[in-house]
Structure formats: structure tokens, C-alpha cells
Amino acid sequence: MSRLTPDSDDARFIRRVVILIVIAAVAAALFKAGDLIILAFGSMLGAITIHAIAELFEEYCRAPARLALGLGMLTAIGVLGFLVWLFSVQFGPQINILVTRLPGLLDQLGAWLSQSPVGARFVDAVEAAFAGSRIAQTAGDLVRGAGELSLNFLLLIVGALFFAADPAIYERGFLLLMPKSKRPAIHDALCDAADTLRLWLRAQLIQMTTMGVLIGVGLWISGVPSPAALGLLAGLSEFIPYIGPTAAMLPALGLAATVGTGPLIGTLVTYALVRLVQSNFITPYVTSRVIAIPPAVTLFAILAIGMVFGLFGLFFSAAILVVIFSLVRSLYLREVLGERIES
């Protein structure tokens, strides 16, 4: 008789302790591998975009599935190449001016705002928040590590092509890790998240395009230097709600301040009017049937994701929030609580 053999209660307690240790170890490993997780998520986002483009070729060009997928990959790579060409060749001189003059422009803008007591308090608050922000510190590290950013971008593209080539194999592998009885519900939730993310990407593309065009035209009318580059920057910044457009407005204000008071006022009016149109007409129209996340939840969730995963995670924070919101709606509200939630 073995007197050290644990009884059933002890065995159950030990098993639970081991499970908690494993969960804590996995959570710690995932936190340490945050950059890798963000790269994988970005690759899956790219794969969803490629398949959305491929569906357009299938629907409108009557192309076979494999051919449409290849055309979707080529189209995505071509769009990325076009953006690189825009930044490096077409808008290269304007962006160089913007980057080299940005610190001085921000100082001038701060000096102009500091002329009034309210503006001075605002400048002090922004400087204090920027100096103590982990996101801001990560931004400085990112500028110093441009080579690492380029490598991550290349890995993201390659990963997106791999995921897009055969997404079913990754889905099957993930579902095999789940209990058999739970696989149908998890499969439906994954499909729901993918469909929601695809519609959200389409809505984001519409918002980014309208934002870039309207801002570029408004700054050109106001006489601000480099209106095309600033419009492109404003359009791309829409991918990060609230934080991105605010950050993209600062260079425009700085450049406008170097020209005169008229262009500066025109810049403020342009951003105010475009934001008014975007928030009250364009955004509700294109996102009302996709997903409705409360603005406060969006803002603080994006900040939280940026604090955990850094600036690279901040770029995908809105998409991550959409996936989390969709999974909570599908798995918890619908499957666990039994709420009647429409897809």
C-alpha cells in the first residue's frame, strides 16, 4: 500500500493548480511574444483583404477560384507597391520636408498656442502626457529602428500570402485544439468575426479615401504646403480612430503656422468641417450595418492595446477591437448567455 498516493480530493486540487500554472505560463509567454502575435494578426488581416479582392474577381470577372486568389495577391502587392512609390517618389520631397521640419513646426505651434493662458495649459498637458507615455517612448524606439520596422512589414506581407493561400488548414488546426462538442460554436464565431472584419475593412477603406481627399483639397484651398502628402497622411491615419487623425493634424497645423495666420485658420476650419462631415454622415452610413462599438469603449480599448503591444500594436488596435467585440458577441452573449444577438 502506497501511503503517499494522493486521494481524489488532493488529486483534483493538484490538477487545478497545474492548470493554473500552465495558463499563467502561456499568458506570460504570449505577453513576451506580443510583437509576434501582432505580426500574425496583421498577416491574417492581410489574408482577409486578399480574399475579399479575390471575391471581386470571381464575382465581376467570372475568374476561377485559384486564378482569382492569385489575382487578389497580385493586386494587394501592387497596391502596396503603389503606396511605396507614392511615399518615396511622388511625395518624397514633401515628406522629407515634413519630417525634417516637424520638430521645429511643433515648437512653433506650441509657442503660438502658449500666447494665451488656455493654450499654455493645453501645451503643458500635451507635453506631460507625451513625455510619460509608453506609446510615445515606443514611437521613439520605432524611429531608431527603421530597419526592424521594414523587416516586420516584409514578414507581415509574406505571412499574409501564406495565410491567404490555404486558410482552411489553419482553421482546422485551431479547431482540433478545441473540445469536439464546442467546435461548431467556435467555428461559427470565427466565421462571424471574419465576415465582420471584412465588412469593417471595406468601411475603413471608404472612410480613409474620403478623409484623405477632403483634407487634401481643403488644405490646398487654404494654401498649406504639401497638401497632397498631408491628405494621404490624414487618410491613412483613419485606420487608428481618434488617435490617428489627431496625430496627423499636428504636422498640418505646424506647416500652416509657418505660412501665416490665414492658412492656419483655414487648416483648423478644414479639419473641423471634414471631421463634422465624416462623423455625422460618412461614418454612420458605412459602419451602421457592420458593427456598433461605443466611442468610449473604442478610445480606451485602443489606448490599452497600444500600451500592451506598443506602436505596432496601436496600428492594428481598431481591427483587434472589432475581432474581440465580435467574439464576445458570438461566443459569450449568444452561446453562453443565450441572448438573441443577430449576426
Domain range annotation of the chain: 34-336
Output the pTM of the full model: 0.74
Residue 216, Cβ density class (10 Å: 0-12 exposed, 13-18 middle, ≥19 buried): buried
Q: Does 138 score more than 60 pLDDT?
A: no
Closest CA relative to residue 80, chosen from 115, 42, 25: 42
Rg, C-alpha atoms of the chain: 24
Q: Does 336 score more than 90 pLDDT?
A: no
pLDDT per residue as tens digits for the range 32-73: 777 788 888 889 999 999 998 998 898 888 889 889 999 999
Q: Does 2 score more than 60 pLDDT?
A: no
To the nearest whole percent, how much of the chain has pLDDT over 90?
12
Q: How far is CA 205 from CA 162, 212, 252, 260, in A?
A: 23, 11, 22, 33
Cell output for 3: 501511503
Residue 305, Cβ density class (10 Å: 0-12 exposed, 13-18 middle, ≥19 buried): buried
Segment 124-141 shows an average pLDDT of 50
Count the alpha carbons within 13 Å of 156 in the hemisphere toward its beta carbon: 22
Rounded to the nearest angstrom, the gap between the alpha carbon of residue 107 and the centroid of all alpha carbons in its chain is 29
Segment 71-90 shows an average pLDDT of 84
SS3 call for 215: helix
- Beta carbons of 242 and 269 less than 8 angstroms apart: no
Give the separation between CA 334 and CA 186, rounded to whole angstroms.
Answer: 11
339: left (phi over 0), alpha (psi -120 to 50) or beta: beta
Give the separation between CA 218 and CA 212, rounded to whole angstroms.
Answer: 10
Q: Does 74 score more than 90 pLDDT?
A: yes
